[in-house]
């Protein structure tokens, strides 16, 4: 086993300060909700969502979402060769082809939810079409139980890729971003990153991923234990954690998430992989989490730990565990509804509907 190479002083990437969402716009949204033709609070979390969006858009009512965009970060992981997944590693590249051909779940759900999809090969083992390979860092990240996932240079390249992709999407008009992933074996590094950052034990973070049997579960538990051992020497520095036990896709996703926050663009997080990247991203740029929503509760236990630490409550619980950004897409219609409530519902005054009966003052 190659010991983790500690970089000292630690490699640092710096991000600008994260802007605060607009509390005035949030206050206006709350006041407007109180005037709309419904008992106060009766739309429950939809009201909170509308207020959340108004604060991120810095306006009330919020604009309808015009260009929600899913970015699927595809990457292979050496650990997949150790039998920790129910599927062979070739599926990553095969699914990239399927995304491009429009046949994957992310394509179907994005069509219904009104989003477009971009696929980026960050570290797929096989060759992919040139239109998705612009940001390829390497062919597969290293096997994190025995070696570093990346070199320092590759880590920086992947971080820069994530930042550049977020900038390009926002510059092209994206007003909501959804982080998706594709990578056979990637629930193993996700679990290790989350365990390292939440101080959890392997047994608390291991999940069934693509649907592994008990033998694969044993191998995955060993891989997570070994990865975590290597991580613990590095967990003080989030960039080193990405390098030692993450991978190019996780580094790119983390930087993408930070840069989305820097660019004041709201994000819907998908499942355990996006949540692991988010946990690292919040370490890189504290406060970035204010720009993210947890779309759904995945069946992976590690995701619950990550979301708890990020203080993000998932919007949906649909027993989904696919990745690709599909959980984010399932939640997108809720965000659209929440915005439209604030723009289109009539007030009590406009509709001529009587408000609450004033209660007699108690003495």
Catalogue the active-site residues: 324
> Which residue among 194, 269, 300, 315 contacts ligand NCN (CB under 6 A)?
300
**Please, how many CA atoms are within 13 Å of residue 6, restricted to the half-sphere of its CB?**
10
CA distance 314 to 16: 27
CA distance 67 to 312: 24
Q: The tokens of 341 are what?
A: 């409530």
| Region near ligand NCN per CB under 6 A, out of 31-39, 46-54, 112-120, 181-189 | 181-189
**Please, how many CA atoms are within 13 Å of residue 346, restricted to the half-sphere of its CB?**
8
Contact between 258 and ligand NCN per CB under 6 A: no
> Which residue among 210, 222, 264, 290 contacts ligand NCN (CB under 6 A)?
210
> Which residue among 150, 159, 161, 184 contacts ligand NCN (CB under 6 A)?
184
CA distance 258 to 161: 12
Contact between 82 and ligand NCN per CB under 6 A: no
148 makes contact, choosing from ligand DMD, ligand NCN, none, with CB < 5 to 8 Å by partner type, with: none
For residue 335, the 8-state DSSP code is H
Q: Nearest approach, Cβ of 323 to ligand NCN (angstroms)?
A: 2
When the beta carbons of 226 and 324 are compared against ligand DMD, the nearer one is 324
C-beta atoms surrounding 91 within 10 Å: 19
Closest to 189 in 3D by CA, of 215, 224, 238, 159: 224
Token match 């009201």: residue? 47
Describe the strand order of the beta sheet including 176-182 as a list of residue ranges: 116-123, 68-75, 176-182, 267-269, 292-294
345 makes contact, choosing from ligand NCN, ligand DMD, none, with CB < 5 to 8 Å by partner type, with: none
> Which residue among 54, 272, 280, 339 contacts ligand NCN (CB under 6 A)?
272
List Cα–Cα distances, 236 to 84, 179, 203, 258, in angstroms. Answer: 27, 25, 22, 18
Q: Nearest approach, Cβ of 184 to ligand DMD (angstroms)?
A: 6
Contact between 321 and ligand NCN per CB under 6 A: yes
186 makes contact, choosing from ligand NCN, ligand DMD, none, with CB < 5 to 8 Å by partner type, with: ligand NCN
Q: Nearest approach, Cβ of 264 to ligand NCN (angstroms)?
A: 26
| Binding positions for ligand NCN, rule: CB under 6 A | 85-87, 181-188, 209-210, 212, 270-273, 298, 300, 303, 321-324
């Amino acid at each position: 086993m190659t010991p983790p190479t500690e970089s000292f002083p630690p490699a640092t990437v710096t991000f600008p300060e994260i802007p605060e969402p607009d509390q005035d716009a949030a206050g206006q949204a709350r006041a407007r909700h109180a005037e709309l033709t419904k008992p106060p609070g009766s739309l429950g979390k939809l009201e909170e969502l509308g207020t959340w969006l108004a604060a991120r858009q810095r306006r009330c009512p919020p604009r309808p979402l015009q260009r929600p965009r899913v970015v699927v970060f595809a990457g292979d992981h050496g650990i997949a060769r150790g039998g920790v997944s129910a599927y062979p590693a070739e599926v990553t590249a095969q699914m990239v082809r399927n995304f491009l051909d429009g046949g994957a779940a992310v394509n179907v759900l994005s069509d219904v939810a009104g989003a477009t999809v971009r696929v980026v090969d960050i570290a797929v083992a096989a060759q992919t079409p040139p239109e998705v390979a612009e940001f390829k860092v390497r062919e597969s990240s290293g096997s994190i139980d025995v070696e570093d996932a990346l070199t320092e240079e590759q880590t920086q390249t992947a971080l820069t890729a994530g930042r550049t992709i977020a900038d390009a999407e926002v510059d092209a008009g994206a007003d909501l971003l959804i982080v998706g992933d594709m990578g056979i074996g990637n629930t193993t590094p996700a679990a290790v990153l989350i365990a390292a950052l939440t101080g959890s034990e392997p047994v608390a973070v291991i999940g069934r991923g693509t649907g592994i049997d008990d033998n694969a579960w044993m191998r995955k538990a060993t891989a997570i234990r070994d990865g975590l051992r290597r991580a613990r020497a590095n967990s003080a520095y989030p960039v080193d954690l990405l390098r030692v036990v993450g991978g190019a896709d996780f580094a790119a996703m983390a930087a993408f998430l930070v840069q989305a926050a820097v660019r004041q663009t709201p994000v819907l997080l998908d499942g355990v992989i996006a949540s692991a990247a988010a946990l690292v991203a919040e370490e890189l740029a504290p406060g970035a989490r204010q720009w993210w929503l947890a779309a759904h509760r995945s069946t992976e236990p590690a995701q619950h730990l990550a979301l708890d630490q990020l203080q993000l409550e998932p919007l949906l619980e649909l027993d989904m565990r696919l990745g690709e950004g599909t959980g984010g897409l399932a939640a997108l219609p809720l965000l659209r509804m929440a915005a439209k409530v604030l723009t289109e519902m009539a007030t009590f005054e406009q509709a001529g509907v009587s408000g609450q009966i004033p209660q007699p003052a108690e003495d």
